[in-house]
Structure 1
């Protein structure tokens, strides 16, 4: 039986991301977009995510990056290199950069992320926080004890329509109390991009970038 933990401090917020290089990110957006356009959309989504995380309560903010940082990175983040291996290994390794206290990891594919979605993480007494994605994956994973990440994440099959369900089951099977965050849609395809841009908050870089491409006939 799981038990609620005492309310804790604001979490370490981790963003796991790839440098937005044409041909290496958002390849499922091509076509209809060119590799350069897809990378521009990825950069805008990443920038939106980073600026949202920057405004959220946190004891530390960490960008876990594959590649090199660019002008899209705002001040206020520690930048560390992603680990080796599959996505499950890299997610687990990202939590190694948390020295103590709760931690939450998000990706770069949900520019509609808001500060309000992160507000209770680390302070509502749960052992874990889980944000499912519409495609069956997950957009957020948080742990009150980041030291357990290796046992909880490694070996979970990634990029399937059962990834999220499998990951959440791991948390529950380990006896953790899980707080479920709202379901969000990842940006993978052009249809995803249109749907996500429509629900981005005002001032979204991603929505502006998509609208600019639309005006150009894309």
Structure 2
């Protein structure tokens, strides 16, 4: 049996999604890029064959590519994000997703995650481990826990810092299995680098449209 795959997502609304990228591309294009990353993430999640839960925030009816996203979400269980800070929302999402076989959580900022990455995370859970995928900016792109309640320490972790992964590991007890390091798409340079890894993806096509 496989764990639940939890995708934490924000509706890609122009002016609210990927605002740093929007300073380069314009906010409408930045929202398109965020939507593309979410669609790629959901496509890979679906390809695992695992149960997929999406913890969503924001107004999807105002989002870029909302019809495509809604169609992709139809194959998942969507729950609202609950809580004040991001750490609290993550911890609650793990509880909402837990079906008793572990939870593997990702965001929508690392569309280059593969089915093999998820398989490695599941293997770590079967060994009884907690698993973390570190990001190049000091954060993390995946967290796998045995039980949803294991994510309870996340509200104490300072997010979006150069030591967020270190803080997370310490908060979880200091013993985790690490996956490969990936780059989140937070800047335009990040988008270009990740899109180059994913020819034919939604993200790569969005970048081509911006370039055109």
CA contact (8 A) 1:11 1:121 kept: no
Match of 1:17 in 2: 9
Residues 1:135 and 2:137 aligned together = yes
Q: CA deviation at 1:57?
A: 3.7
Residues 72-111 of structure 1 mapped to structure 2, 5 A cutoff: 72-73=69-70, 74=72, 75-97=74-96, 98-111=98-111
Residues 134-213 of structure 1 mapped to structure 2, 5 A cutoff: 134-150=136-152, 152-173=153-174, 176=175, 178-200=176-198, 202-213=199-210
Gapped regions of structure 1 (runs ≥ 5): 1-8
TM-score if structure 2 supplies the norm length? 0.90
Q: CA deviation at 1:68?
A: 4.1
CA contact (8 A) 1:129 1:142 kept: yes
Q: CA deviation at 1:172?
A: 3.6
- d(CA) in 1 for partners of 2:27, 2:170: 36
Q: CA deviation at 1:35?
A: 0.7
- d(CA) in 2 for partners of 1:49, 1:136: 21
Q: How many residues align?
A: 201
Residue 56 of structure 1: which of 45, 48, 67 is its match? Answer: 48
TM-score if structure 1 supplies the norm length? 0.87
- d(CA) in 2 for partners of 1:162, 1:66: 25
**RMSD after superposition:** 1.4
Q: Secondary structure at the match of 2:184?
A: coil
Residues 115-126 of structure 1 mapped to structure 2, 5 A cutoff: 115-124=115-124, 125-126=127-128
CA contact (8 A) 2:13 2:59 kept: no
Residue 57 of structure 2: which of 52, 55, 66 is its match? Answer: 66
Q: CA deviation at 1:82?
A: 0.4
Q: Secondary structure at the match of 1:136?
A: coil
Q: Secondary structure at the match of 1:30?
A: helix
Q: Cα deviation per residue 1:17-53 (whole Å; 9 max; x = unaligned)?
A: 1001001110010221111000000000000000100
Q: Secondary structure at the match of 2:14?
A: coil
- d(CA) in 2 for partners of 1:29, 1:122: 33
Higher helix share: 2
Residue 30 of structure 1: which of 22, 25, 30 is its match? Answer: 22
- d(CA) in 2 for partners of 1:205, 1:18: 17
- d(CA) in 2 for partners of 1:100, 1:155: 24
Runs of 4+ in 1 over 4 A off after TM superposition: none
- d(CA) in 1 for partners of 2:123, 2:3: 8
Gapped regions of structure 2 (runs ≥ 5): 61-65
